[in-house]
Structure 1
């Protein structure tokens, strides 16, 4: 296909950044040329990524133009106060109010009220200056900003006002309604500033992209600009499928924050361990990625520590291997109205792993809908301990008879290539 349009992708997360934030536009950039779009990536030269995965640099498309400019971030200064707290807050791990230290409370107050919309705000002005010249010289057809960090949308806003260029704003998460936003100890004035900036971005961008149907419902009330849902997805890979674990392993892959601590789930597992000797001998709970101290303490209280194996952060390829080798995959979301819109990027790789998913979260979430329509797992609410216990036992019985499997339906719509086709159509319509 003849390549005829240039899209400038403005993103904070790019390899060697690890975690889910980098995957979305890494994969879009991979497939866009197949649909007539040349991607050009703009990202920081010296970012403070909370997670590093050098293996992802091998997935950057050969020949792609990647522009980098220095960024000044406050986390280096924050490290002088508390390196641990700085890293936790930058990665989204915010302790509960009652357990926050004075330093943590101070850092959250400063982060929320002095860095609006976020700690990368100082990158906006130099980026607009650099990209203005680049856009003029290289005849860019459209710009794409992806957040969080939502300060990157302010780069798009200023470039739009300066060059009247086509602009697509991609929201991987909501802005003012995301859960951690409420924990930033915002003053009334700061809260209004966030809302005003959000409103200006939503009303100025030519097209809004969101990752969930519930986020679209929220944004429809805030803007008349067109909004398209393009979820995250899964990609094809060359990893040979490993054998399933010999033990009955339930694995959680990714960050498990303090608020994602479903006590009734740990209680259900504890009861099965105490009531069923065969289950106790076979059961293992694997955590791959960052786990908050509070979650670990709760698990210990329920007597599950001897069944826990913590593997820490692993490369993306190793995470895929773990997804395929585990017996059951665990997905946990905060029990909140705000989190109904959150669809973890790992969900789609979970779905493609041929491993049953056990999910816990709020009622009427997008995750619940996707699991039901694809037949890839079971979804429960926080008040359904007995039902969760029964489901785990059912999975265990299937494991014992070597019949634990998944019969997925309609996964192709979530492939990265299919999603990029939708994106390319949006881009062409916006030009």
Structure 2
């Protein structure tokens, strides 16, 4: 077996979608004659923890660790709440930001380039150089965000000339929150220079979306492959749907991810249709910004609203499969067209219909359309949203089966890992 060194910040017990991608790749790489070796921080500060993922780490997997200095730990002295929200990517609109949050954003954007994990670069390079000199590896793989990990790959590439794959789970300078970091002109220039250095130096680039691939194609001549996220299993056994007409959103709802016209459509249907009012439930599972909560309540949905804080991955899957309809929501901007939320693939595996709201030319639209898994709407599509919800409600009232039966095997984690393994072998 050929070995690959995978450099990642997120690893169990971290929770959320960031950890799942490489945890699942590692799980299946050996089936394709690739031996993974993991390098992670010894003392990370994860905004979300899910201890259930630890059981999926292969027992004999070799894992290297090196301590990391986390500036967010210092920031918590001044404001734990603001520190946690910024590190989670939840950034309020500027007119709703406190002075402390504005200051933290300025410091984060201009003093920690490319991100607050930059202090792990130098010690990691020194530590990994010895490992790579003394042992044979087919390649190294870095995955970001945090994009500072790509700079570890860049330094190792420069000093050892080893094959290097850079995996971008999200864009870099075009990611949604980048414009909110209050960057100076010189800081923005530095981000662009670092991004270009990574793109031009990596032997192969992986993106999780088609739009990000198109963006990077305009910045580098290096080969780029799209390997989306995926689902792991559809064999969860029989599940009983909940009694109500339940719409569920699983995952964080940031301030910018606030489809007011969706809440308005629900509100109008409640006021117009007595049966709908009695049966409708809106479940929000995960962190939700106060701005989103206020918007939902202002549309008269408070009595139909159920909150759940972060739940384990297994519990999230159960909630998805028991819901009538699943909500997929993305920020309405050009920068987010290339964001394909990881949960979309588990939504597909749940076989429940999906109501999605997002930007024009959103990559997720292509996946939902090809999988015949639901409908995608723009932020101003009130009447079309209402019509779609009513169609689903009539099916619900008449006891009709709304399960999707399309072939989604190409999104299975093992099949996606096979695509990754072929890429590694061809280096």
Instruction: Could you list the structure 1 runs, at least 4 aligned residues long, displaced by more than 6 angstroms after superposition.
Output: none
Q: Which residue of 1 aligns with 2:50?
A: 53
Q: Which residue of 2 aligns with 1:17?
A: 14
Q: Which residue of 1 aligns with 2:412?
A: 415
1:138 is displaced (CA, Å) by: 2.1
1:290 is displaced (CA, Å) by: 0.6
Unaligned runs of 5+ in 2: none
Superimposed CA distance per residue, residues 147-186 of structure 1 (whole angstroms, 9 cap, x where no aligned partner): 0000000000000011100000000000001110000000
Superimposed CA distance per residue, residues 13-43 of structure 1 (whole angstroms, 9 cap, x where no aligned partner): 0000000000000000000001010000111
Decide which of 361, 377, 398 is 2:358's aligned counterpart.
361
Decide which of 21, 26, 29 is 1:32's aligned counterpart.
29
Decide which of 263, 266, 277 is 1:280's aligned counterpart.
277
Unaligned runs of 5+ in 1: none
Q: Which residue of 2 aligns with 1:378?
A: 375
Distance 1:406 1:379 in 2: 17
1:238 is displaced (CA, Å) by: 5.9
Q: Which residue of 1 aligns with 2:286?
A: 289
Q: Which residue of 1 aligns with 2:71?
A: 74
Q: Which residue of 1 aligns with 2:214?
A: 217
Decide which of 94, 98, 102 is 2:95's aligned counterpart.
98
Q: Which residue of 1 aligns with 2:242?
A: 245
Q: Note the aligned Cα RMSD (angstroms).
A: 0.9
Greater mean alpha carbon deviation, residues 285-294 or residues 395-404 = 395-404
Contact 2:352 2:404 in 1 (8 A): no
Distance 2:263 2:92 in 1: 20
Change (3 A) 1:353 1:237: closer
Distance 1:228 1:409 in 2: 25
Superimposed CA distance per residue, residues 260-280 of structure 1 (whole angstroms, 9 cap, x where no aligned partner): 001100000000011101000
Q: Which residue of 1 aligns with 2:168?
A: 171
Contact 2:234 2:349 in 1 (8 A): no
Q: Which residue of 1 aligns with 2:301?
A: 304
TM-score using structure 1 length: 0.98
Matched, 1:192 2:192: no
Aligned residues: 427
Matched, 1:64 2:61: yes
1:237 is displaced (CA, Å) by: 6.4
Q: Which residue of 1 aligns with 2:225?
A: 228
1:408 is displaced (CA, Å) by: 3.6
1:369 is displaced (CA, Å) by: 0.7
Structure 2 residue matching 1:341: 3-state secondary structure: coil
Distance 1:62 1:393 in 2: 49
Contact 2:44 2:68 in 1 (8 A): yes
1:242 is displaced (CA, Å) by: 2.0
Q: Which residue of 2 aligns with 1:131?
A: 128
Contact 2:76 2:83 in 1 (8 A): yes
